[in-house]
Amino acid sequence: MRNKTFFVFALIIVLCTERLEKTFTIGFFDLYPSRLLFVMLLPFFKVNLFLKEASKEVKSIFYAFLIYIGCVLMSVFKSNDIFYSFKKWLDVVTINTFVFLVYAFLVKSCRKVTLNSVYLFFLKYFSFVIVIIFIGGLFLYRTTGSTGELEQRTFFGISFYRRISLFNDPNFFSCFLIVAFFIIYFSKAQYRMLLLVLIGISIFITGSKGGIAALLITLILYYRERIPILKSKLFLILLIGMLVSVFAIVMFFPYTALNLLTTLPFFKKEYGAETILPRMIVWHSGMMAFLKEPILGLGPGNIVKIAKGQSIEGILAYMQSNGFYGLQNDVIDKLATHCTYLEILFETGLLSFTFYVLLLYRILKLFLKMSVISPKFFLGYTLAFISFYISILSLSYNTYFMSFLTGMYLYFADHYRKEYKTVKSRVIA
């Protein structure tokens, strides 16, 4: 494999640099190590060659992406702060273009190697990265809470300090781990069970409720045929309806949601300022602002600005009267959307949201198709893809490591079919 050393370097850097701060700024472009790799991969992307080499499915994904970033750019010009929103638009462009840069790099660098050799090469080094990240997570890095003290979680009666490994947040660490879990779970990697145990321990010590839930939901979806009730489409529709209803109640009726929460016997009011209040403020404020600009939204990056501008004294006073502890007005400094889909909907409108969902649908459709044709290469990643995009229901997050892996698997899909057609034509001849 040509450029093997660079490929390993790129893989390790992309997987391990979520924790690193920006290196320097060029104009309005903040340069991180992952973005530096973006620049290094740009020469490998020739549009004409890409369109010539890519399959119809990959081309359709690329066209959906172009329309999506075009729609986001239109929302930039609706923003009250165009300069700030344009910076956020550049983030969208770089992190999503990375998919196609990796695809183009592999097309150009792996012409004379078999898919199996590329796959085994990838799996070997991915397993190595898992071990390094586990060691970093278990022994080196612990995360701190907003007060500067070590943040503690308790699951199943076990108390522990949350870990972040080489990432900058335990939830981001968890996102990476659930992707790794499914890739390893359906592979024939050496020491597979040991790797799964390391990943399982690491997921637990992130203390990420959203990550653990995404892992369990994906496993349930995969094994649903063994669970009679999950075979029913009506049951799945009801589950989705319940999820949508919860989001709707919080966004449109925050006081009703608070009343419901405070009646739950297991709900700990002292966590209100850390987990509940910030989400409620952003979702409610975001929905109210979105209704005024439903087509193009508020402009990229503006959801927190809008929420900070809202009058929240009423909600603060109400929560304090219900016994929430340690609630401070500076809680708005902790604001985040905590849901990638709502963030896209609020900030860039229905138009961008539609094409974002279409982009994900086309990628997933291709991987589901390939999972049937060749489970060895595609089943694990397909479930990893599903699990990641379940996890960001509770997290505002897009990742370079997910873009890197998606680009790689797009290449796998096209390369596998080319190998298959070549073998088939030889047999017929």
Cα–Cα distance, 335 to 266 (Å, whole number) = 24
Q: Which two tokens stand for residue 81?
A: 């702060």
Among the residue ranges 141-150, 223-232, 308-317, 325-334, the one predicted with the least confidence is: 325-334
Averaged pLDDT of the chain: 79
- Give percent of the chain with pLDDT exceeding 90: 24
> 264: exposed, middle or buried (C-beta count within 10 Å: 0-12, 13-18, 19+)?
exposed
The residue extents of the domains of the chain are 232-334
More confident residue, 68 or 162: 68
More confident residue, 223 or 13: 223
pLDDT tens, residue by residue, 340-389: 999 999 999 999 999 999 999 999 999 999 998 888 889 999 999 999 99
pLDDT value at position 74? 96
pLDDT tens, residue by residue, 260-291: 776 776 666 555 555 677 777 788 888 888 88
pLDDT value at position 426? 42
Given a contact cutoff of 8 angstroms between Cβ atoms, the answer to whether 150 and 100 are in contact is: no
Q: Nearest 10 degrees: CA dihedral of 393, 395, 400, 402?
A: -30
Contacts (Cβ under 8 Å, ≥6 apart) of 200: 181
Q: Which of 406, 408, 399 lies closest to 32, judged by CA? A: 399
pLDDT value at position 117? 79
pLDDT tens, residue by residue, 88-114: 898 899 889 999 998 998 888 877 777
More confident residue, 22 or 216: 216
Looking at the predicted structure, is the pLDDT value of residue 332 above 80? no
Looking at the predicted structure, is the pLDDT value of residue 148 above 70? no
Identify residue 205 by its one-letter amino acid code: I
Looking at the predicted structure, is the pLDDT value of residue 43 above 60? yes
> 78: exposed, middle or buried (C-beta count within 10 Å: 0-12, 13-18, 19+)?
middle
Q: Which two tokens stand for residue 252?
A: 């449109």
Backbone angles phi, psi at 125, to 5 degrees: -75, -30
Write b or e for each residue in 339-377: b if 16 or more Cβ atoms lie within 10 A of its Cβ, otherwise e: bbbbbbbbbbbbbbbebbebbbebbeebbeebbeeeeeb
pLDDT value at position 70? 96
Crossing angle (nearest 10°) for helices 233-252 and 277-292: 90
DSSP label of 2: T
Looking at the predicted structure, is the pLDDT value of residue 422 above 60? no
Q: Which two tokens stand for residue 60?
A: 């359709």
Looking at the predicted structure, is the pLDDT value of residue 232 above 80? no
pLDDT value at position 319? 59
Identify residue 103 by its one-letter amino acid code: Y
Confidence of residue 424 (pLDDT cuts 50, 70, 90): very low
Confidence of residue 325 (pLDDT cuts 50, 70, 90): very low
pTM: 0.86
328-335: average pLDDT: 53
Among the residue ranges 50-64, 125-139, 241-255, 414-428, the one predicted with the least confidence is: 414-428
Cα–Cα distance, 73 to 53 (Å, whole number) = 28
Q: Which of 27, 60, 39, 55 lies closest to 359, judged by CA? A: 60
Contacts (Cβ under 8 Å, ≥6 apart) of 81: 299, 302, 305
